[in-house]
Amino acid sequence: MSQEAETGEPLSMEELADLLAEETATDPDEFARQAEEFDIGSPEEAETVSE
């Protein structure tokens, strides 16, 4: 993992995407294009489900 992740400081979205692209052996631009396909809402918008 990168030094940023080990320091406990939050990564920027770009740093996270670059790190994930590197770890998955994916081109960073291709990784970014694929990531745009996901619609991830904020935790505040999440639906609570109880079993």
Cα–Cα distance between 27 and 29 in angstroms, integer?
Answer: 6
Predicted local confidence at residue 9, as pLDDT: 83
Q: Is residue 19 part of a domain?
A: yes
Predicted local confidence at residue 23, as pLDDT: 92
Q: Is residue 47 part of a domain?
A: no
Domain that holds residue 25: 3-40
Task: Kindly report the pTM of this predicted structure.
Answer: 0.49
Span 3-25, pLDDT tens digits: 445 667 888 878 888 888 899 88
- What is the number of domains present in the chain? 1
- Rounded to a whole number, what is the largest CA-CA distance in the chain? 40
Q: Taking residues 33-39, what's their average pLDDT?
A: 79
Predicted local confidence at residue 6, as pLDDT: 66
Q: Taking residues 35-46, what's their average pLDDT?
A: 75
User: Average pLDDT, whole number, for the chain?
Assistant: 78
**Strand, helix or coil at 33?**
helix
